[in-house]
Chains A and B, each alone.
Chain A
């Protein structure tokens, strides 16, 4: 094992001519520290209202559905109305991070907090950010946000605050770094653009391969 490591690195160094001049670690340290951005697509720029519009447009194009609510207080009603509209049972599993919402107002909603199980049909999660350029949600794992919620149940309802909508992927990385503990990114970061899909049968698009068949985004004002 150690031999394989040494031999591969030696072979790389030889090819790079490092046997004559050793590599300078400050070159890569500078490149990393700079976190330099590549060309930023014009569609990722603009004022916040324009980015919100773009986010909604691009997410809808990717077959997600989007609705807006005025505040956190309106979320339980929006969730239970969505389940009713879609003829889904009034039962869901949610990120523990969402426990503080006013669920008491909807006593008929059967809600459990924690990681999902096979039988769970609907999951509810928060989002760290929304990225306007492609209508992409950004979720991060943590004590109160198990990452499997976004993949195992057939329906994923995601909450997103309007102020968390940013333009470009790089703006998302900045949010991720700001939220990170000890300079490490969260164990898992999920970019999600629309529901799960496949085109493996004669290149015809089908939704709901292994992940959710439905992605519903509830945008919260403020």
Chain B
């Protein structure tokens, strides 16, 4: 997918003024409440988080060995592993497999790696017909839009938008059919997509985990679409990035207990499907070919850097759902596949800080993302790393750069800082005494554009703190 992360400020401004989008974003509140209630029922939650972190850390520290072990196990089960350094390589591999299979139609389960690769565009250009089968992905594919959320891709749309989309694309159906009820929309999509499952020659899915001990891929779904995509067509292609590996089924179980609860507030997703190789001589169903496309795309370069922790991410989207910035602007404003705090850290790693420099700055540093992250990823710390790199590479606009320099000058001279802060507070207090606040302040237009700056009430925090300690 083509990145427009450099447009974040303009995108965000547009999103804030979009009343319809602001309405659909409101549903995230319900997810947060349900999630908290589900987690409260599992007293072992924090122990599981620690164990999950340890599993991923162990795997990453031995990633070369686990990759080789995994590949050997896939091969032993009759499947093949295809290594891809870049999205372009991965797209070429998928296209070649489809062509060799004489495929025309491809049933796709939801895959963020597929989004990252821009796979659909590529397949269409190659004369193939990829059909997204997850309801949310299907809707946005019809609309030609990228997902706005990594778990709920059509979060930005209302039921009325979806009805309009179906009316304009399902031209073979009666135009006057009623589509007001959710059930009518679902039934229509179900019957359309059933044809895709049954007629596709190739099924493509992502993977939530790759299991090294047996060479298995594991996906979780609620709709059952990924499961049909990988069992009905003749060929199954799994798209996965390097960090999806876990050593054993026991290790997967630890993280599975975190994933659904954290993502959708469910005790478990409806389906968790594990595939090991193609159909065997004795099997009565399943694909004849099983391929795994293993994508690096910048991840191996994150190992051993301050961004290594990000490779523990399981794409549950809890950080998006709890982020005040994501909740205000939605996913499209971030301008690439991964939005929210996890995107603010990952996107610069994958597309470059020059393109995505705004994203690590799109944070209020409230720390909720790290607090809720089931894999205990220190997201704010990594956003700060990006900000430091941005500063030291001389990127970003001049005003904040000079602002930071000016602030650093005072901050490293505590006496001067206190004196200046006291003087500024006194002056602002006097100036704003009458109205109790400021509508506008020089150099702070971004802040005062949407709210008033309250006038300082008197003495500084330093002064009060010193007094109370006595």
Residues of chain A contacted by B272 (CB below 8 angstroms): 136, 190-191, 193
Question: Which of chain B's residues has its CB closest to A176's CB?
Answer: B249
* Interface residue A31 (Cβ < 8 Å from any Cβ of B): yes
Residues of chain A contacted by B285 (CB below 8 angstroms): 115, 141, 146-148
Determine if A211 and B270 form an interchain contact, defined as CB atoms under 8 angstroms apart.
yes
CA distance A88 to B287 in the complex (A): 31
Partner of A96, one of B159, B223, B284: B284
* Interface residue B212 (Cβ < 8 Å from any Cβ of A): yes
Q: What interface size band does chain A fall in?
A: 35 or more
Given known A15-B300, A201-B159, contact A141–B283 (CB-CB < 8 A): yes
The contact sample of 6 A-B pairs, CB cut-off 8 A, is A28-B66, A115-B284, A151-B231, A209-B190, A211-B228, A212-B224
Residues of chain A contacted by B304 (CB below 8 angstroms): 15-17
CA distance A17 to B270 in the complex (A): 41
Question: Distance in Å from the Cβ of B34 to the closest Cβ of chain A?
Answer: 10
Question: Distance in Å from the Cβ of B280 to the closest Cβ of chain A?
Answer: 6
* Interface residue B425 (Cβ < 8 Å from any Cβ of A): no
Bits for B262-280, please: 1 = Cβ < 8 Å to A, else 0: 0010011111111111111
Given known A27-B65, A202-B27, contact A152–B228 (CB-CB < 8 A): yes
Determine if A200 and B135 form an interchain contact, defined as CB atoms under 8 angstroms apart.
yes
Partner of B47, one of A39, A145, A196: A39
Determine if B247 and A189 form an interchain contact, defined as CB atoms under 8 angstroms apart.
no
Question: Distance in Å from the Cβ of B9 to the closest Cβ of chain A?
Answer: 28
Residues of chain A contacted by B282 (CB below 8 angstroms): 142-143
* Interface residue A107 (Cβ < 8 Å from any Cβ of B): no
Determine if A31 and B58 form an interchain contact, defined as CB atoms under 8 angstroms apart.
yes
Question: Which of chain B's residues has its CB closest to A139's CB?
Answer: B273
Determine if A209 and B186 form an interchain contact, defined as CB atoms under 8 angstroms apart.
yes
Determine if A203 and B198 form an interchain contact, defined as CB atoms under 8 angstroms apart.
no
Determine if A15 and B223 form an interchain contact, defined as CB atoms under 8 angstroms apart.
no
Residues of chain A contacted by B247 (CB below 8 angstroms): 28, 31-32
Determine if A42 and B286 form an interchain contact, defined as CB atoms under 8 angstroms apart.
no
* Interface residue B67 (Cβ < 8 Å from any Cβ of A): yes
CA distance A141 to B279 in the complex (A): 9
Per the 8 Å Cβ criterion, residues 1-42 of A in contact with B are: 1, 4-5, 7-9, 11-13, 15-18, 23, 25, 27-28, 31-32, 35-42
Determine if B283 and A142 form an interchain contact, defined as CB atoms under 8 angstroms apart.
yes
Residues of chain A contacted by B467 (CB below 8 angstroms): none
Determine if A58 and B267 form an interchain contact, defined as CB atoms under 8 angstroms apart.
yes
CA distance A212 to B227 in the complex (A): 12
* Interface residue A221 (Cβ < 8 Å from any Cβ of B): no
Residues of chain B contacted by A7 (CB below 8 angstroms): 85
Known pairs A7-B85, A192-B270. 14 more at Cβ < 8 A?
Answer: A4-B83, A32-B247, A41-B44, A41-B257, A43-B42, A143-B284, A148-B228, A173-B250, A186-B276, A200-B139, A208-B186, A210-B193, A211-B227, A212-B224
Question: Distance in Å from the Cβ of A124 to the closest Cβ of chain B?
Answer: 15
Determine if A210 and B283 form an interchain contact, defined as CB atoms under 8 angstroms apart.
no
Residues of chain B contacted by A186 (CB below 8 angstroms): 276
Per the 8 Å Cβ criterion, residues 40-83 of B in contact with A are: 42-44, 47-48, 51-52, 55, 58, 61-69, 76-77, 82-83
Residues of chain A contacted by B66 (CB below 8 angstroms): 28
Question: Which of chain A's residues has its CB closest to B220's CB?
Answer: A191
Most B Cβ at <10 Å: residue of A15, A115, A201: A201
Interface residues in chain A, defined as those with a beta carbon under 8 Å from any beta carbon in chain B: 1, 4-5, 7-9, 11-13, 15-18, 23, 25, 27-28, 31-32, 35-43, 58, 61-62, 96, 114-115, 118, 134-136, 141-148, 151-152, 168-170, 173, 176, 184-204, 206, 208-212
Given known A23-B64, A193-B267, contact A15–B159 (CB-CB < 8 A): no
CA distance A85 to B55 in the complex (A): 48
Question: Distance in Å from the Cβ of A31 to the closest Cβ of chain B?
Answer: 5
Per the 8 Å Cβ criterion, residues 382-414 of B in contact with A are: none
Per the 8 Å Cβ criterion, residues 225-257 of B in contact with A are: 225, 227-228, 231-232, 242, 247-251, 253-254, 256-257
* Interface residue B89 (Cβ < 8 Å from any Cβ of A): yes
Q: What interface size band does chain B fall in?
A: 35 or more
Question: Distance in Å from the Cβ of B111 to the closest Cβ of chain A?
Answer: 16
Determine if A210 and B224 form an interchain contact, defined as CB atoms under 8 angstroms apart.
yes
Residues of chain B contacted by A37 (CB below 8 angstroms): 250, 253
Given known A31-B248, A201-B185, contact A9–B68 (CB-CB < 8 A): yes
Residues of chain A contacted by B82 (CB below 8 angstroms): 1
CA distance A189 to B276 in the complex (A): 9
Question: Distance in Å from the Cβ of A207 to the closest Cβ of chain B?
Answer: 9
CA distance A108 to B333 in the complex (A): 60
* Interface residue B154 (Cβ < 8 Å from any Cβ of A): yes
CA distance A210 to B190 in the complex (A): 6
Partner of A12, one of B24, B48, B242: B242
Question: Distance in Å from the Cβ of A209 to the closest Cβ of chain B?
Answer: 3
Determine if A38 and B55 form an interchain contact, defined as CB atoms under 8 angstroms apart.
yes
Question: Distance in Å from the Cβ of A192 to the closest Cβ of chain B?
Answer: 6
Given known A32-B212, A38-B51, A62-B267, contact A114–B64 (CB-CB < 8 A): no
Most B Cβ at <10 Å: residue of A58, A134, A198: A198
Residues of chain B contacted by A58 (CB below 8 angstroms): 267
Given known A198-B186, A211-B271, contact A42–B194 (CB-CB < 8 A): no
Determine if B43 and A42 form an interchain contact, defined as CB atoms under 8 angstroms apart.
yes
CA distance A40 to B51 in the complex (A): 11
* Interface residue B314 (Cβ < 8 Å from any Cβ of A): no
Determine if B270 and A203 form an interchain contact, defined as CB atoms under 8 angstroms apart.
no
* Interface residue B87 (Cβ < 8 Å from any Cβ of A): no
Determine if B275 and A188 form an interchain contact, defined as CB atoms under 8 angstroms apart.
yes
Determine if A202 and B24 form an interchain contact, defined as CB atoms under 8 angstroms apart.
yes
Question: Distance in Å from the Cβ of B227 to the closest Cβ of chain A?
Answer: 5
Determine if A203 and B62 form an interchain contact, defined as CB atoms under 8 angstroms apart.
no
CA distance A1 to B293 in the complex (A): 11
Most A Cβ at <10 Å: residue of B134, B182, B185: B182
The 8 A-B residue pairs whose C-beta atoms are closest, nearest first, are A211-B224, A209-B223, A38-B254, A15-B303, A146-B285, A200-B136, A191-B272, A15-B304
* Interface residue B152 (Cβ < 8 Å from any Cβ of A): yes
Given known A4-B83, A190-B273, A202-B24, contact A12–B300 (CB-CB < 8 A): yes
Residues of chain B contacted by A38 (CB below 8 angstroms): 47-48, 51-52, 55, 250-251, 253-254
* Interface residue B4 (Cβ < 8 Å from any Cβ of A): no
CA distance A201 to B225 in the complex (A): 16
